[in-house]
Structure 1
Amino acid sequence: MAMKIPFSCVFASDEDFAYPASELNSHGPHVFGWRSKIDSNNGADKSPKEIVLKFHFPAKIYKIQVLAHQFLIPDRIDLFINYSSKSATPSSQTFEYIGFISLSPASENFQSRELQSISIPEKLATHLKLRMTSPHPNKLNPHNQLALLAVNVLGEEFRPNDLNHLKIKQNDEENIEIGLSSITDDLSYCMYVEESICDIVRQLEQLKQRAVEDERFEYARKLKLCMNCLRTVGERLGRYSLSKRQSVQKEDFNTARLRKEQMELYKKIVFEKLELEKLLERDGLLVENDICSETYAQKPQLPNAPTLVEVSKYLENLKSTEQSNEEMQAAKLTGHQSNFNEIPQSPQLRCKSNCDQVAKTSSSPRGSPNTGSLRRRNKSAPRNSNYDHDEREIPTLRHSHTNEFLRECHHQHTDDATRGRSKLNDREKRQASIPILVFGIDIVELFYSRQFQDREDALTQLRDILKNEEKPEFGYNKTTRGATILLHRAVRDAVFSVFSAAAETIRCLFCEFIPGKVSNSEVARCVDKLLPELLSKSGDPSPRVHNLAQHTILYIAACNEVKEQNLVAPSLSRPVTNGTHPRLALSRLQMLEQLILSQGINNEKQSGMTCRILSEVGIQGIQHSHENVRKVAERILIAVYKVNARLIRKQLPPDDEITRRNLLYRQLFTEFDKIDIQRKREMLNERKANTLEFTMPEYSSSETSGGESSSSRTLRNVEHKNVSLVENVKTLRINSNRVSSPTPFNQQRNRPQNHQILKSKSGQSIKDFERQETFKCTFCDYIAFSNHELDYHYYRQCPYLVKCEYCNDIIKINDLNSHLLSECEKTKDFVKCDVCRDAVLATELLEHKKESHCRILTSGIAKCPLCHENIYLPDDGGYERHISIGCPKQKRKVAK
């Protein structure tokens, strides 16, 4: 009989942080499944996605099931298996292709999920690989994502003595129908039924098989009816479990607690209704199960589930009942005990039907205790040791003075619960001895409070203390130490609002309180205590948490006292390995890249920002399994290459054809080549400008007496000329009539001039060389030898400029949208798109919004006005990198 083969996901070529491939390891209503990351290139990335699953033991595979997403649907899934006795993940060449699964496009309502199953000849395997191609396009999948909700593998555990039998069955071509050992192993069952119910159904199936073998048919019939009812119950509990998980993600812990209690109460009611404890026969065979009962005379009617309001009322009544018991014990100790009156029965849940109560009172199990004045309606019935807590009658005190005493105790308990604060115990007082001395016991109790509002108030008070300009009573060093202890506790808080307030307080501490006031040793102690917690938060699955942690660390690194002691960079520049979690590795490399841009590369060994250390980090990063980590590591290597190219070349493999077959190294070496070409071009331009030393000519008095003539011209100021050429950097205007038919450069240079004798740096004279002035392009460092030549370069050649199609003005590429909206002659015809902020013709706005390049851009990302591709870090040379790589819509190319 086939059963579910447990597995773990060991490799995924692509995954979204919120939907990792590890979600495929378990089945249930609460799982969200795997999802690929968003394709930011609008479908440019069409590479297949691969997932490798490793079985917990070698198994003979009979069947594979796949549950697809409702609209993120791959077109095709190819299946490969591998048998390996090693624990490591096998290479892609060792997998055997066994078939594929084709999935249908999404339905009209985008709510149905497709379950596909493929039966295969009996195969021995330890790994399963799924390769998915491009998705089915639909309106709900604009980012070309792929998703799988669940993967199920059915088979049997392989034993060595079964090897010969396996070989015989592999040669047999007959298709044998696969029988399941349990219905709960099927994916259509376990994905929608709560896990605990699945376990119970699995036990009932085994009991049913045993009952059939023993010819206990009435017992088997009861088990079958019970399993059918439990499936309905399990599906409802599955929806509650999913709602509970969503409440936890929203940090609505009160609703999550009520959902949990609702599930427990509903299971308790249903189990009592179905007499589950009897059917399980935990203590041995029960003759009652072989006799027809009223409950299973027909299909049992399930009770309604309690609502959250009913659950809340039930918990309040339960709390008041426990409090009454405690008050009764206190009254006994104080001598105020009096006669007892029987009070009405404690409130019942409205969800319990009358038939449940009748069945419970008429058929009470054995062993019910008789304590106090508890009465049984049916005295002939046996006592029940598991009698429901809700059915008990609670005694209370009669006299008024006792009631007043209990009421005072109740009010005192209610005030303490509402306030949520408690006194610090001895251990907490020892931990917070310095904060108590510096800030007082009241604010420290707020930090240790169970109410998150109190903790937020405490952080607000601490910020006000740190912003106070007066010198603290206990000095700056001791105040910093006390604040560090409290912030170390607040940073680890699970509530986001508290963590956000703690991050704001940390920024206040390092940006306003510490500079120029606190000693270096105390600053180092503060960073050593807070930095590890912030680094762990930077790898949090929630984007708002890890982004806030990254910004807080960068604020700390920007503090002068921290920068001088190099306290942050060494922690970020530790090499990342494949064992480092992708989120944590990506956060560390992103922060390190920002430090390179803001602080630069340092030559001090202890700074953690030397070329050697950064190159080691980058080389380890480009070997990481996650794509985003590799991209950031490439940018770090390129930044170091601009400073020390020889060191990077030395640590990388040799630049030959074999190495360039690897896509990773081919892209990296291509970027290096572009940097080398640019560097050589700059060197050649420098040599052109500095090769010759001009000497001023001597003129006779007769030539100068006539006033200013052409022979009395002096060298013009190059900087002044560049400013005059580009008066407005944002919008460069050049009269089109002036350069409509420019003179060729060779004709310009051959015009008659006064020939002078010039000397080079070597001292050799150069005759018949006209004295020429050099003009440098403001944007691409092009060297021109005349004003007219520089104008021609701006108008025809400079790759960072473009001609406006509507007014023929020459504009910087990154300012084209603002030009069309405010400066162009056709400004009235353009409007700004409210989605992508581009300048669009008013008549084409609706069609523009349907285009794929009309998208919302996040901070730190711009869009090329010509080709609409993303440009990362536009303010830090992003446009220059984009043009140097080659914008497909820019006809002007960078000179090689």
Structure 2
Amino acid sequence: MAKKIPFSCIFSSDEDLPQYPASELNSHGPSVFGWRSKQDPNNEKAPKEIVLKFQFPAKIYKIQVLAHQFLIPERIEFWLHYSSKNATPSSQLFEYVGFISLSEASGNFQSREMQSIIIPQKLGTHLKLRMGNPYPNNLNPNNQLALIAVNVLGEEFNPNSNDLSHLKLKVPDDISEVALASITDDLGYCMYVEESIVEIVRKLEELKHKAVADERFEYARKLKCCMNCLRTAGERLGRYALSKRLSVLKEDFTTARLRKEQMEMYKKLLYEKLEIEKLLETRGLIVENDICSEAYITKPTLPQAPTLVEVANYLENSKSNGVPSTEVSPGLSNNAQFKYDEPIYSPKVRSSPKGSPNSGSLRRRNKSAPRNATYDYDEREIPTLRHSHTNEFLRECHHPEPESSRGRSKLNDREKRQASIPILVFGLDIVEMFYSRQFQDREEGLTQLREVLREKEKPPEFGYNKTTRGATLLLHRAVRDAVFSVFSAAAETIRCLFCEFMPGKVSHSEIARCVDKLLPELLSKSGDPSPRVHNLAQHTILSIAACDEVRDQHLIAPSISRPVTNGTHPRLALSRMQMLEQLVLSQGINNDKHSGMTCRILSECGWSGINHPHENVRKVAERILLAVYKINPRLIRKQLPPDDEITRRNLLYRQLFSEFDKIDLQRKREILNERKLDKMDFSVYASNHLSEESGESSKTKNHVTINSVKTLRINDRASPTTLPRQNHHNQIVKSASGHSIKSFDRRHEFKCTFCNTIVQSNHELDFHYWKICPFLTKCENCRDIVKVADLNSHLLSECTKKSDYNKCDVCQDAVLNSDAEHKTQSHCRELSSGISKCSLCKENVYLPDDGGWERHFPIGCPQQKRKLKK
């Protein structure tokens, strides 16, 4: 179990004193400011280094870093050193273990990013962090770097023991696999919860594990509920602690004292409400903890914190009555009307007589005056902690607010005008979900929208066109969402709209309007830094392009095949080139000038990609040019410089000319083979003609000649489900000899129906079907050869043991009747429209009717043992 390794900072290349020294990294808490480098207005870009020394030798498993919201380094490298001596090591003795790349802030530089790195179980006594250049932005004019916190997780190592576990280099596949000894060891927890609350939670967690071992389950339940409540209260106390420190820095000691008293009063109320002293059992076992108590019948409600005004009033009254300030009035939490904290602008706070016009909470007289940033921060939510699910312990203890307290946003007049059509079609409740600030509401709204689009019992009340327009306006808002789960649900709804709702029901003009509205947003998402976002965006665009109505109007390809410039971002340019390549493979090259897939348009887009500075973009553009060259080599050659020694010195042109030469050589071989066949056919025709003139029996001669030429007629569209052991699929066509050479069948080769492999004999073709073709497989029950794509259908309807199988209602697979755990497995999932699943490897096959199976085979399926010879 990994736990927090304490350390101290012993070196930093520079630091912004006195508020942001490197020693700020030694402790974790809400009031920590972190380290910040010196101002660098000259932009010297010298690397910044920090060296941390552990309090004891340790086996290191994981390192966490919390970055600043706008002073962000592009890259942080980690170096470890192990030594039994206490001397500070030199820079040559550190071993490089890895790095993290921080992303440039996209939320207006207001949120912090926490990154984690899993490293092998290495021993260490010192850790060095080397930071790269900062991301340029308007909030960082002096090119500074900052780190809010660093956390090291591992286990203590005793050099005198015989512990050799550090030699086993086990790298987990997922960050969450590093189990923590306590939830308080995680950086996302301890950075936003007040320090004293963290210590109490740590003790309660130890007691919970002990209670579970002793089978005191009621006591364990109370401890768990208490820990959840303490986390919420600890966040509030953490904001108070930060406000107190800011007040001290501003030398506003009156506010600092009020904050201190406020924290003590709230802690006392909290501990009494949650019965902390009883749960800790500091004086031994308490039997009442094993009995359900009134405080823990349901989830305990936290007491409201006193405001600064109430704290000031109470301190003034206690001073006049001679009551110590540390004792809280018993009636304070019952009689006082608690409100959110209001700013105190006067150092002297006095209580007003009851009934006077100045009685009540203090408020700002000037409503237009800005509030103090300290108090604005005090009321803010903490997105880092709210979305912190780094391990199972945090998932267990994270309880979102109940649905009743999550108020849904009401639409203002401007939003109602914008969403007038969706409100008319789908109702106000669904539209309000799309405009809600809670991402759960937005996900629920997309789910309800999909249910409406998939309703097939009756047509929409306002017609298919108006329903499509209303859905488009809502999806245009949802597809821009920054939360991935919402964007994923929006992408699924878009595929549902185009693949299930539109076909044969919506007019062409409305489909074009829908594509014009959604395609720019999807293209923008296709250049997102996150791989899962841009991959999903690409798949959504290709799914739309595969729809017949969209393909007939040529709505997708013209936007993708536009030339890219050197200023186009590499991710966006690469994404467009990859999608264009997929369209070439699935739809082919078109002669229609409006299709966006003509040879000239593709060549122009390919040449713009060839000149792009990013290497990956150039590679995909090269493949596009090669595909066009096979169709129109003259067009490509015109755009090339002359093929001479000087041109071939350029590596890019040398590779292109080399590939062009291979294509030309292959084309010449095909032409020569065709000529040989022509000569052979002519000799057969001449011999037959001469035999007729000499008066020989043409019937006998023709029989010998015809049988000497056997041709396999292959229907590319006919794909039988099973191939029995007989050679019923080989049909020998006997062509009658005539006087016209063109009417004679010249094909002397045998071609596989599925993988287009060409063999020289009928026997070789049979062997290819039975042993080699990767599109086929052998049924384990009846030993028939079956297409992989139709294996489930064969097992349910054709196999000799079809009674042993039934059809799964979720994934539609053929499942053995004895397999009771099928639905609990990960490959049992519902497939969207336009997606199939391989029966061997259980992976998705996208666009199966447009070349998806060809891309999956012959080498893409890891479970297919059949492989074609290269």
TM-score (ref. length: structure 2): 0.47
Larger radius of gyration: 1
